[in-house]
Structure 1
C-alpha cells in the first residue's frame, strides 16, 4: 500500500515527480536509489489502485531490462515476462491467402539476452511501486497538480486538495496530454494520424514459442506479441491493431462476432482456434513532440515529452531512456553541489534526449506513412527494401541493437551500470 506524504515531507522535497505510471515511478526510484539523501516524492491524479485495472502489456527492450535489473526490480518482473525469441515482418492485404515473410530477426542481442520481453503493465507498475515504498518514496494519490511558480532557488507546487509543496525540481511524467507541459508554457509539434490503436489479449490453441509478428496492412500495422501463459496454462498473445479511427470505433463498440471475425482474418489460424480474452479498447494515434523538454525547474519525461506511433514499439523504451538520462544528469549535478533544478543543468538532459526523440518521431512517422497504404508503387519499393535488409546480416544486427536500446550514447542505467 502506498504511503501518504506527511507534512514534513511536503515542506522540503528535492524532486517531485508528477505521474505515477512506469516512467514516473522509474524516475523516482532511479534518483532515490542513486542519492538516498534526496527527498523524492510522487503525486498522481489517478485514483488509488487504478493502475491495477490496466490490462495492457508492453514490449520492454533489452536496455530497459538492464535498467530495471540495476534498479532491483527485474527479479520480481522476470517470472511474469515473456522473452521475444523471434520477430517476423510481412507486408500484405488482410484478404491475401498467403503472407510472404519479408524480414526476420533473431531474438538475442547477446547470448542468453533477448532483445525484448513482453510484460504486463500491472506487473511492471507493481514492481516499481514496491521498490518506491522500500526506498521511502512518498506517493500522493488521487490529487492533481493545479499550478506552480518558481521562486529563486525553488518552486511552489499547488495541489487540487489545497496543499502546497515546496520543491527544487518538478518532473512532469503526466502523459501525452500533459497539463504540466501546458502550465510551463511549452508548445508542441502535433498532428493526428486519423488512426486508432486497438489493444486486446487473445487466447489461442497452440503455443507461440516466443515469436512476435508484425503485418503491414493497408490501414496500419497489426502486431501479435507473445505473452506468458495464463494461470490455467492458456496460451496468450497481446494484439496491437492499427485501424482508421472510424473503423476502430465501429469494431470496438460493435458486435463481438464481427470483431472476432475481423480479428481472425488478420491473426490467421496458425496458432489454432482463437478467442478474445478481454474487452478490446482503442486509443487515438498521433505524433506529439514538445518543442522544449525543460523549463525553469521543470523537466518533461516520457509521453509528456513525446508521443509517437506504435509501429516500432518504442514508446515505453523512449520514456525509460528519458528516465536514465535525467537521473544521470541530476545525480551528477547533485554530487558536484550544483542546483539540480537550474536551467543550465536541465539543458544537459535536453541536449542528450531531444535529438534522439525527434529522430525516432520522424522515423515512426515515415514508416507509418510508407506502410499504411495500398499504393502499388510504394508496396513494391518497401518490399524490395525489406528483402534487401533480410539479405544483409550486419544491417539486421544494427537494427536489432537499435530496437534493443543499446545504441551509441546510451545512459549508464540502460547499460546495466550504476549511476
Structure 2
C-alpha cells in the first residue's frame, strides 16, 4: 500500500519534439538540421511566414562565412546546394585613413595562399542560404517547421519546457533553445539579463555593382566615424557594410540613390571603377549585447540571443554557427550516453565551451572599434605602425589569417567538417 505521506514522483511528460527552437533565421535551422541528422526530433518556431523566408529576390544582404563555418554547412548537408552561388575570399586588406584621402601607408594584407586549408572564407547571399535551410528542413522527417508562429509564454519543470504560441497551441520539449536574436524573448522569459552598450553608430548595408573585377579581395577601410567593409560577391559586385555616426547615417540613408552613391564614393575610392547600387539599402544600429548567462533551467541561447557584437570583423554569423556546433555536439553526446540532455549539468558544458570565446570576441571587436573609430593623431600613428608590424612578420600574419578563417580555438567537430 502506498504511503500517503511520501511525495508522489511524477513521470516525465510526453514531448512534441526532443528540442524546441525559437527562431527561424539562420542559426535556428542550422541547429535543427544538425540535431535531426544525429537522430533527435526538432520543432522550429519561426515568426516569419515561409513565403517571406523563401523570397528569391536579391536584396543586397550577404554573409562572410569563415572557412570553419563553410565546413559546418558542408557537414550538415547544406553547402553543396549553395556552393555555386558563393564567392571565395582569397585576400583581406585592412587599411586606415580618412574619406577622400586614401589609405595610410601601412596596411594588413592577408593572402589565403599562406595557409594550407584554402580560401579564408566565402561570401554568400542571404537569399541562397535561407532557401537552402528551408528546403533541408522541409525535407527532413525529424524536423517540424512552424512558420508564422510566435511564442507568447514559456514554462519549465524538472522534465522539460513548454511554450504557448499566439495561436493558443502549446508545444512541449525536453529542451528549449532561443535563436531569436538580440531582443530574445526566450532569454527574457527565462529571466536572463544582458550586459552591453550602444556605439552611437549605424551600419549602412547595401550591395554595389562595379566596373572592374574585385579578384576575391575583401577590404576593410578604417575611418574616424567607423569602418567600411567592401566584401566580394560573385561577378562584379560587392557587399557594403558602412558604419557612420548615427545622425550622419540617418542623413545618408534619407538621400535618393544618386545622393547615397555621392556620399559613398569618396569613402569607397575608384579602385573598382564606376559603381552603382544593386539591391536594397538597409540600416541597423550598432551595439554590444551579451547575455549574462547562455543557459537557464531547460533553456539554452544560441547566436545573437546569446551575444551581439560589432560587425567590424564580420563574425556575427560565424560566432552563431560555433554555438550551433558546440551545442549540437554537447546534446548529442549526452543523449548517446543516456543522460537527460536538457539537464543543468549538460547545458553547463555548452556554456563553459562558448562563454570565453564569445566574450573574447566581443571585447576584441569593441577594442578595435574604439581604437580605430577616432581621429586622434597619436592613436592613428600607433595603430598604423601596429598594422605594419603585424604585416611584416610572416608567423604573426599567418596567425591572423587562421583566426579570420575560424580555424583557431576549441572547434566543434562540425566546424572541422566531421559529422556528429
TM-score tier after normalising by the smaller chain length = over 0.9
Q: In the alignment, what sits opposite 1:256? A: 257
1:83-232 alignment to 2 at 5 Å?
83-97=88-102, 99-108=104-113, 110-111=115-116, 113-136=118-141, 137-229=143-235
Match of 1:49, SS state, is: helix
Asked whether 1:16 is paired with 2:20, we answer yes
CA contact (8 A) 1:109 1:115 kept: no
Deviation of 1:12 after TM superposition, in Å, equals 2.1
The separation in 1 between residues aligned to 2:381 and 2:251, in whole angstroms, is 31
The separation in 1 between residues aligned to 2:417 and 2:37, in whole angstroms, is 14
The separation in 1 between residues aligned to 2:46 and 2:241, in whole angstroms, is 27
Q: CA RMSD in A?
A: 1.4
The separation in 2 between residues aligned to 1:77 and 1:358, in whole angstroms, is 31
1:30-49 alignment to 2 at 5 Å?
30-35=34-39, 38-49=40-51
Deviation of 1:49 after TM superposition, in Å, equals 2.3
Q: In the alignment, what sits opposite 1:77? A: 82
Asked whether 1:400 is paired with 2:401, we answer yes
Match of 1:213, SS state, is: strand
Asked whether 1:321 is paired with 2:322, we answer yes
Asked whether 1:282 is paired with 2:283, we answer yes
Match of 1:384, SS state, is: helix
**Which range moves more in the overlay, 38-47 or 79-88?**
38-47
Deviation of 1:302 after TM superposition, in Å, equals 0.3
Deviation of 1:99 after TM superposition, in Å, equals 4.7
Structure 2 regions of 5+ residues with no counterpart?
Answer: 1-13
The separation in 2 between residues aligned to 1:73 and 1:110, in whole angstroms, is 25
Match of 2:98, SS state, is: coil
Q: In the alignment, what sits opposite 1:345? A: 346
The separation in 2 between residues aligned to 1:98 and 1:374, in whole angstroms, is 14
Deviation of 1:155 after TM superposition, in Å, equals 1.9
Deviation of 1:114 after TM superposition, in Å, equals 0.5
Match of 2:338, SS state, is: coil
1:376-391 alignment to 2 at 5 Å?
376-391=377-392
CA contact (8 A) 2:106 2:385 kept: no
Normalised by the length of structure 2, the TM-score is: 0.93
Match of 1:418, SS state, is: coil
CA contact (8 A) 2:302 2:320 kept: yes
- The number of residue pairs the alignment matches comes to 403
